[in-house]
Amino acid sequence: MWRFIGIRLLQAIPVILAVITVTFFLVRVAPGGPFSAEKAVLPEVKAALEAQYRLDLPLFQQYTAYLGDLAQGEFGPSFKYPGRSVNELIGAGLPVTAELGFYALLVAVIIGGLAGVIAALKPNTRQDYIPMTVAMIGICMPSFLLGPLLVLIFGIYLDWLPVSGWGDIPGDKILPAITLGSAYAAYIARLSRAGMLEVMSQDYIRTARAKGLPEWQVVVKHGLRGGLIPVVTFLGPAFAGLLAGSFVVETIFQIPGLGRFYVQAAFNRDYTMILGTTVFLSTLIVLFNLLSDILAAWMNPRLRAQFGEQ
Amino acid sequence: MTTEIITDIAEAEQGSSLWHDAWLRLRKNRLALAGGIILVGFSLIALLTPWIAPYAYDAQNLELGASPPSAQHWLGTDIFGRDLLTQIMYGGRVSLAVGFVATSVALLIGVTWGAIAGYVGGKVDAVMMRLVDILYALPFMIFIVLLMVVFGRNILLLFLAIGAVEWLTMARIMRGQVQQLRQQEFVEAAISLGLPPRTIIRRHLIPNALGPIIVYTTLTIPSVMLLEAFLSFLGLGIQPPQTSWGLLISYGAETMEEFPWLLIFPGLALTITLFSLNFLGDGLRDALDVRRSKD
């Protein structure tokens, strides 16, 4: 197990380095300098600014200097707003986005998992078709459509829930969490259905039934553990999707999180801000993928045995 | 299970019976069939839009402004008095084009890459698939946003960027198929006949791996279309004066309180298309007996 974790950790390092390198050079070759949009500035001012942002150094030295900054946890200053830094924005936005993502994941896992398991217990009956059709709708209904529709129905016509904001009015976290989580609930429903169907036909389930265990114990104690492995493996990619989804959901509901900052930085062409945020988000995603792989391996005795023997 | 298909093909010799069986099975799946028909219909409409659209693309009627659906404007008009049906038809052209073209790019890269890796094997395979693994771990959604910011919002780049992201799974599927096929006698026979690898890959491997490729292609198109709509919604994809369903939805969301039809109809168009593609893909997978490879 430790060997497996070690190998995966080592594999993550080149990925993160690749992300940093590609992002850095992409941003540097981007047309238009950071100050080109502004009025002509005095040469001295320009030189001072360039020195401040290290633009006077050769490209490769800029790169190594940036790596040095990153190693110290310094993601760089903002081009557009002097005095503000990427770290500050991450500090302000991350807790909000993390909370939103957590609720969304909760919605996804609980609703999706439940629907999938229920459907798998009686395949090809109404108990299977209805949740799975709803899941298909969930997959096909993108968040940028579902969000406005939910706002229209529950926020405007019915006037039950607030239409925007985060933590200002009670209940304003419900619609964003559902909007962000629903697509993943749908995927998880399909995954857990497929996983449970496969597991429930295994010999050890028959053994458990033959022992005389009540059906719910067979499902909960023996079925779920194997049947939910695909769901756990999916959580890593789902996390990446949730972050990207937060771009849209935070824009729709005007939530001051990382996703909204990222989109704003993209619009303002605030290169250092984009660079810093990309590096930060990417590292987070890579680490999350790692975590979900490890968790899945830990849940799967076959994989554990394979690495134990080596 | 995939070996079953392969042996099926090998045993059937004429090769037509697999496709015939698949067609019989697909015909029984009403949802998949309906999906296929809707898609053909939408594609035809998209192709013929310049001739059959009820109004000119840039025709405005500022006096009329936003009006709900009526006899003159079946789906209503937007705030500039432009006919929404016309807008959706032209937007569909762009959305569908992005879906098909970007998927083709992904198909071309993925199939070639996977076929070579699977056929050559050994160190070449290891290096090629490691690269796929590394790329897999990259957060591409963020990268596409970055690309669109850095190089400007250009539709050609959008095709390339989306295609470049989606080829990875295709490469993995193709490699798995080719590795299995290589063990088959007819491929060994082709090798011992001295056919060059190019010919073997093209004439023997790719045709026999067609089932999973078709299924995965059908399921890639909706995810590509979603990606385009997502970017356009954020304002980072298709730019006016061009339009797409994602862009129309984003405009509709801005004014949905007063003019809800501007959100609902473009949303319906996108959802119905995605629905059809997913049902058709699922149906094809069952019909061709391809194991779920995407999840």
Q: Report the pLDDT value the prediction gives residue A36, as an integer from 0 to 100.
A: 53
Query: Which residues in chain B have their CB less than 8 angstroms from residue A267's CB?
Result: 235
- Is it the case that residue B5 has pLDDT exceeding 60? no
Contacts (Cβ under 8 Å, ≥6 apart) of A95:
none
The class that CATH gives domain B41-49+75-288 is mainly alpha
Q: pTM for the whole thing? A: 0.77
Least confident segment among A127-136, B23-32, B132-141, B273-282 = B132-141
Q: Report the pLDDT value the prediction gives residue B8, as an integer from 0 to 100.
A: 52
Q: Is residue A33 part of a domain?
A: no
Q: Is residue A195 part of a domain?
A: yes
Q: Is B118 on the interface with A (CB under 8 A)?
A: no
Residue pairs between chains A and B whose CB atoms are closer than 8 Å: 120
* B279:A136 CB<8 A: yes
Q: Report the pLDDT value the prediction gives residue B293, as an integer from 0 to 100.
A: 38
Q: What is the pLDDT averaged over residues A101-125? A: 86
Q: Report the pLDDT value the prediction gives residue A309, as an integer from 0 to 100.
A: 44
Q: Report the pLDDT value the prediction gives residue B292, as an integer from 0 to 100.
A: 42
Q: Can you say how many angstroms the Cα of residue A33 is from the centroid of all Cα atoms in its chain?
A: 31
The answer to ipTM > 0.85 is: no
* B139:A148 CB<8 A: no
Query: A41 pLDDT band (50/70/90 cuts)?
Result: low
Percent of chain B with pLDDT over 70: 90
- Is it the case that residue B17 has pLDDT exceeding 70? no
Least confident segment among A113-117, A278-282, B20-24, B148-152 = B148-152
Picking from A15, A240, A241, the nearest residue to B134 by CB comes out as: A15
Q: Report the pLDDT value the prediction gives residue B289, as an integer from 0 to 100.
A: 64
* B230:A142 CB<8 A: yes
Q: What is the pLDDT averaged over residues A114-124? A: 83
Provide the domain limits for residue A122: 91-309
- Each domain of chain B, given as residue ranges in start order, spans 41-49+75-288
CA-nearest residue to B255 within chain A is A148
Domains contained in chain A, number: 1
* B257:A156 CB<8 A: yes
Q: What is the pLDDT averaged over residues A169-196? A: 83
Query: B6 pLDDT band (50/70/90 cuts)?
Result: low
Q: Is A249 on the interface with B (CB under 8 A)?
A: no
Q: Is residue A152 part of a domain?
A: yes
- Is it the case that residue B157 has pLDDT exceeding 50? yes
Computed from CA positions of residues B179, B181, B184, B189, in that sequence, does the dihedral angle turn out positive or negative?
negative
Percent of chain B with pLDDT over 90: 2
Give me chain B's average pLDDT, please. Answer: 80
* A152:B263 CB<8 A: yes
Residue B83 φ then ψ, to 5°: -70, 125
Query: Which residues in chain A have their CB less than 8 angstroms from residue B139's CB?
Result: 19, 240, 243-244, 281-282, 285-286
Residue B77 φ then ψ, to 5°: -130, 160
Q: Is residue A275 part of a domain?
A: yes
CA-nearest residue to B248 within chain A is A145
Q: Is A252 on the interface with B (CB under 8 A)?
A: yes
SS (H, E, C) B159-192: HHHHHHHHHHHHHHHHHHHHHHHHCCHHHHHHHH
CA-nearest residue to A134 within chain B is B275
* CATH code, domain with A298: 1.10.3720.10
Q: Is residue A210 part of a domain?
A: yes
CA distance B246 to chain A (A): 9
Q: What is the pLDDT averaged over residues B215-242? A: 83
